[in-house]
Structure 1
Amino acid sequence: MSEDITTRRTRVRPATPADRDLWVRLHTDPEQYPFAPWWVSTEAQAEEFLERVLAHHEEHGFGYGVVESREDGRALGVAGVVLGAERTNLNLYYRLDLEAHGEGLGREVARAVVADAVEHGPDLPLTATARPDHRASIRTAESAGLALVGAVDGADLAGVPADVVARARANDPAEVPAAVVLLAPRPDVRREPFDADTRAAVLDLWCAVTEAGGAVGFTPGAPRADVAAALARHEEGMAAGLQVAVLLRDPWGGVVAAGWWAATGSPLLAHRRTAYRVMTDPARRGRNLGRLLMAAMHRTARADGVEIADLGVRGGTGTEGFYAALGYTEAGRVRGGIRVAPGDDRDDITMIRHL
């Protein structure tokens, strides 16, 4: 994963032994644990925690890090992902100084950390655990793209490794309500035409995005048959080996995001791919799914040896800012190149990113 993760206001860097005072302060303060006072550490336990964090980074090259302000460099807290004890999952963690609460920094950091893990981390389920009454922590994880699967009350949880469930319950007193587990969406890369269920789910998603005004090739009111025909053309490209679909599935298997990479077939352009139909479930807006889908798409393209990614953006939707934040730059613009309706011409913008 990335050595440093930057957001608009923060930077997450690897922890060092010099962070000992921050680590002790955060993990020995009872005010940091209003919903789980039994988790308050002693000074020695906090120091041991930091040692484990340093050892994890030394072994795996990633882990929990220190969140700093980009404005003045002050330490704001800790965040990151590590391998679970049984190596069956990645665990998301964030804890900010009390003075940094209420500014949306936890949400900002968690969204970036999860996206980086999807793009660069081990291909494992990414989970987070929270107390059921800690709504702020749950909302932060949900805003980063994770879905609340359920409480660890002895039942199996969809998509969550069994050892994660067992460990979460074992670490809490028996008399308190069970912790809850949240799970990030799972990338699903498809290189062959879809099975019937997946095809129906992708078509439903595409139609929903179209009706919500998404720039995915149609305008609201487009007949479902027309969208289905466009989907069939993508599947023809997949059958020919020229297109790859990247989906995101929620813990229950539902398709919540989708996009395609397309190649031209020319050997002169074999190092390039074009992204098409990047779409996320309108009912889950604000859940980081667009960023997670692009992270999964970049991971897929990079694994396929792609060096340059490009995509088209419809002007007037604000999406060029979204892609710019992901490292894309404008490479060309046709003024009024897209006619959405009579009298409503939009710029046709091409953006690229070197992977």
Structure 2
Amino acid sequence: MIQDDLPAIFRDFNPLENRMLRVIDDEGNIINKEIFPQLDDDSIIDAYKQMFYERTADEMAISYQRQGRMYTFTPNLGQEAIHIAAGMNIRKEDWLVPAFREMGILLSRGVTMKEMFLFYLGNEHGGSFKNVSKTLPIAISIGTQLHHATGIGYSIKYKKKEEAVFTFIGDGGTSEGDFSEALNFAGVWQVPVVFTIQNNQYAISVPVKSQTKSINLAVKSVAFGIPGIKVDGNDFFAMYLAYKTASEYALSGNGPMLIEAFTYRLGAHTTSDDPSKYRKKEEEEKWALVDPLLRLERYMKKMNIWNIDKDKLKEEYKQEIDAQFVSAENEKAYKIGDVFDYMYTDMPEDLMRQKDAYEQYLSWKENRK
């Protein structure tokens, strides 16, 4: 990696200097006019609506879980700018390898809320994403998805295709060996993978300061010979610019990039978590003032392009989302074979035994009624 060959923003916002890319400030004022991304008003309005849809769906998913109608859910509150900016730069030809807190990216890809509700209802079909290609299922095991992304990147390079891979992990996931292994080989092989660390500052209850002594997380790219950049994750325009630049870099055959999206998880880690046990209300209130939706709304109002009736729009979204949840709730049970039959071309004996044991359990359970 030669510094002079890097895109301008990766040179100007060197993670070794702990600089963070921002385009607008907390009040929505443009502070870096010379690098403001070329987006027309309609695209900005659409981006806000996508962020607002994700926010509404997130709130409703938490409500369904609290009503006992759905299992544990991973909230996305506060990270919408990252998701929608990424989604707007991931082409149909590209690959998406998510972790478990990328709902907005999946939605922008074409995944439906019904499919995500099925996943959190424990339905095997919730990860199939039938109408979306080149999108891997939600990965709950921390860090494993990065190996998949690097492997797909290697395949793309081997086959000489013009595709990129976008993959995501949280700040806590950077402490996993998988993180270092995946970035190491991505750098060695120079594969077209854009890695994103969603640094929401807490891995469940553990703050970043307890994860690493590095000055930031983007700087971890340096040891692997990969360009890295720290970006204000609550600034939609900064995130859009970072993803556009990284996508162009990867598609041009230059290899991988690492983006640290510095943000804040406004909600709980999951619906099984109580953040009041490990962080103060004052901290949450401070970060709520720089909510990514609020910042984009402030910008839009300053530019006189705000034309959204939020109450009306939210009601429309709620009706649509609720209809998808009810449809997921009423979905017929999946066949037991769907869990076992598609893992291998030829099912190994240990998996056969597991399938047989589970079928016997279900039969016993049914006969007890």
Give yes or no for TM over 0.5: no
Q: TM-score, normalised by structure 1?
A: 0.25
Q: TM-score, normalised by structure 2?
A: 0.24
Report which of the two has the higher share of strand. Answer: 1
